[in-house]
Amino acid sequence: MDLDMEAMASAIGVSIPVLRFLLCFVATIPVSFMHRLTPGRLGKHLYAAGSGVILSYLSFGFSSNLHFLVPMLLGYASMVLFRAYCGTLTFVLGFGYLIGCHVYYMSGDAWKEGGIDATGALMVLTLKVISCAINYNDGLLKEEELREAQKRNQLIKLPSLLEYFGYCLCCGSHFAGPVYEMKDYLEWTERKGIWARSEGGPSPSPYGAAIRAILQAAFCMAMYVYLVPHFPLSRFTDPVYQEWGFWKRLSYQYMSGSTARWKYYFIWSISEASIIISGLGFSGWTDTSPPKPRWDRAKNVDILGVELAKSAVELPLVWNIQVSTWLRHYVYERLIQKGKKPGFFQLLATQTTSAVWHGLYPGYIIFFVQSALMIAGSRVIYRWQQAVPPSKALVKKMLVFMNFAYTVLVLNYSAVGFMVLSLHETIAAYGSVYYIGTILPILSILLGYVIKPARSARSKARKEQ
């Protein structure tokens, strides 16, 4: 068996631990399908939790489940003992434990070298635990104090320990997400809400959507395997790279960033197929005739939306979609003071939270600060674009193209920090293109204070954003 694993790992160019993880990760698809056939509500919760534990053990070893148990028990104890502030307490304890694991294992170095450990799954699990506690905390608040997302997800009753474990570990969905809500998990398991069976009504079939996701995953993996030998991260420290001209270095940064994204597209396509085939990915019916099932709950990335984004503002809506949604509901919106509009502080705090969630590497911190600047700069260009009257269509199209080119350049420049992680390599890579991806956003933001569109146009642009 070891020899077979070694041969398979060598054939696709990965380590044995990574191959073991990939096999278990792909196995989440049939495991999730079997959840559909598991009888009874109690049986479904047991199967969800048990299959998650087994997949974690096979992927990362026995210690992984011990690591997962810590934030899960801390979160549940907070809900039982300190409901009035269990959300804040779980947020602090959950992130504290995750940061401790990041520091102890320094997983980023292992991931960069093709290794694997359980901290990636712990990242997803931490978000689940925190959202469950916050929603239980929201169950104490008056309806008029809640936003729409809070009303939709609040928990009035404490979930049982078995329900909670099933939610956290469901069929290995904690490996790479997507993040989903406890209320959705309970309604799906109990066949309530949009999952309720209606007599004579259509029954959503997941098979077509799941097959599309699997085919997309295969294509993305093929693209990654083909491109990665041509654009290795080691090239940034290679003397040959420094001998290239500015435009060649900049184009290499674009290609290395684009290459890395195919790996994430593959991972999220597999997890999407897994959640769809279980039925949990169902998000309602379209308004067409006849109605068609939608599977947006499982969608974590829109590939064309990322690669062809017209504005950096669109990126959180098409990249790591469910985590972006989590950050918006549990960080960004909760930092907005009543009666006031959000500003750069909320954006920066959200991006910083995302950076810490990924790990304490300087490259992560720099990338997410860069992201905040990138989005703020893109908003300025968008406001200029919206202020152009219809009679000047050519000027408007030029600004649209400018925002697209700005987004492509700054995104792939910024992504270098996310990939190389170390401060020295990040600064060296940024410096090799004269910090153009940092200067452009700052320049756009400053110009936004000087070149201001008319008030009516600006107000309209904000509404559309």
pLDDT category of residue 458 using cuts at 50, 70 and 90:
very low
Predicted pLDDT of residue 238: 86
**Which of helix, strand or coil describes residue 33?**
helix
Domain-located, residue 223: yes
Domain-located, residue 201: no
Catalytic residue list contains 358: yes
The catalytically annotated residue of 35, 45, 102, 358 is 358
Domain-located, residue 230: yes
Question: Do strands 284-285 and 293-294 pair parallel, antiparallel, or not at all (unpaired)?
Answer: antiparallel
Same domain, 43 and 115: yes
Which residues make Cβ contacts (< 8 Å) with residue 56, sequence separation at least 6? Answer: 64, 65, 68, 118, 121, 169, 172, 174
Domain-located, residue 275: yes
Calculate mean pLDDT across residues 226-246: 89
Domain-located, residue 246: yes
Which of 162, 195, 228 represents a domain boundary (last residue)? 195
Same domain, 234 and 177: no
Task: Domain of residue 11: give its range.
Answer: 1-195
Share of the chain above pLDDT 90, in %: 65
Domain-located, residue 355: yes
Same domain, 350 and 441: yes
Same domain, 147 and 280: no
Same domain, 186 and 212: no
Same domain, 114 and 21: yes
Number of domains in the chain: 2
Which of 146, 167, 195 represents a domain boundary (last residue)? 195
Buried b (16+ CB within 10 A) or exposed e, 95-127: bebbeebbeebbbbebbbeebbbbbbbbbbbbb
Domain-located, residue 461: no
pLDDT category of residue 200 using cuts at 50, 70 and 90:
low
Domain-located, residue 221: yes
Same domain, 149 and 218: no
Same domain, 167 and 108: yes
Predicted pLDDT of residue 128: 97
Strand-pairing partners, residue 293, are 285
Same domain, 191 and 220: no
Predicted pLDDT of residue 337: 82
- Which of 402, 308, 451 minimizes the C-alpha distance to 394? 402
- Which of 150, 409, 55 minimizes the C-alpha distance to 255? 409
> What length does the chain have?
465
Same domain, 368 and 422: yes
- Give the whole-angstrom CA distance, residue 251 versus residue 346: 32
Please report which helix (H) or strand (E) contains residue 294, including its range. Answer: strand 293-294
Same domain, 65 and 129: yes
Which of 195, 221, 255 represents a domain boundary (last residue)? 195
Same domain, 170 and 212: no
Predicted pLDDT of residue 457: 46
**Burial status of residue 156 (CB atoms within 10 A of its CB: 0-12, 13-18, 19 or more):** exposed
- Give the whole-angstrom CA distance, residue 46 versus residue 75: 20
